Amino acid sequence: MRGAYGQASPEDQALLKEANAARAEFHRNLAIEQDRLLHKALTCPEWGKSNTNIRHIIEAVQQLVNKYGTAPGCGPFFLGMRVWLETQRGEARICVWRLRWQSVTQAGGESFTNDSIKTLRQNFVANHGMSSEAVGSEGAGIPEWLMWSISPELSDAQIQKLLKVLPASAKLQDYNPSGEVVVDVAGELGFRKAQHVARRLCCCFIP
């Protein structure tokens, strides 16, 4: 009911306050559960060893794409991965893909959180130690940033094979990429071997 001048009655105001409180509690519990799931995925001991076999890496990424490549909410993740690998190709310095943890917890649901973190942990190098803070609901201890890089042993030709199994750029043009790519200018993460990096050709026309 409405009171004078169109204002909500005390009864309606009480119902609205109760509904807002219930909504806030739902989102708080959801955030806690998402953080718990992410923390579990990030610390699962069975996923801790990084794989360097390019065939296995390609197969793992392909499986992730097959399952989630067209799933709602997952497009930005795959575009972010594509931008990262494209930046790394031809670059001797290590490029770090820096993600907010919400990129995997609020994308394709619980299964995507598990599968994406499993794929990244088993096939790429985690650099979360570079993050200065731990965040998360109820003290979950989640890194502020999730940071990943390739193995320095991967060649540009192998990176190109990885790019081929990702969704094409044209299919991702409606999205913004998840995260950002940071080049390790100081070389703290080492450098790729010269024979693994294709030379970037520059054609200059001098009149």
Whether 64 contacts 112, CB under 8 Å: no
Judged against a pLDDT cut of 60, whether residue 192 lies above it is answered with yes
Q: How far apart are CA 15 and CA 105, in angstroms?
A: 31
* Confidence at residue 32, expressed as pLDDT on a 0 to 100 scale: 63
In the structure, what pLDDT confidence band is assigned to residue 60 with cuts at 50, 70 and 90?
A: very high
Q: What is the DSSP letter of 177?
A: P
Q: pTM of the entire structure?
A: 0.76
157 — pLDDT class (breaks 50, 70, 90)? very high
Question: What is the share, in percent, of the chain residues with pLDDT greater than 90?
Answer: 49
pLDDT value at 200 more than 80 = no
What's the rounded mean pLDDT across residues 84-97? 96
**pLDDT reported for residue 45:** 77
Cα angle 204, 206, 207; round to 5: 145
- The pLDDT value given to residue 8: 73
Cα distance between residue 101 and residue 29, in whole Å: 17
Gap between the Cα atoms of 80 and 179, Å rounded:
6
Q: At residue 4, does pLDDT exceed 90?
A: no
Using the predicted structure, report yes or no on whether residue 12 has a pLDDT greater than 50.
Answer: yes
- Residue-level pLDDT at 159: 96
Q: Which residue has the higher pLDDT, 18 or 145?
A: 145
Q: Which helix (H) or strand (E) holds 95?
A: strand 95-100
| pLDDT confidence band for 17 (50 / 70 / 90) | low
Q: What is the mean pLDDT of residues 48-65?
A: 88
**Alpha-helical regions (H) of the chain:** 10-43, 54-68, 75-88, 102-105, 109-123, 156-165
pLDDT at 71 over 80: yes
What value does the mean pLDDT take over residues 24-42? 66
**Cα 89 to Cα 87: distance, rounded to the nearest angstrom:** 6
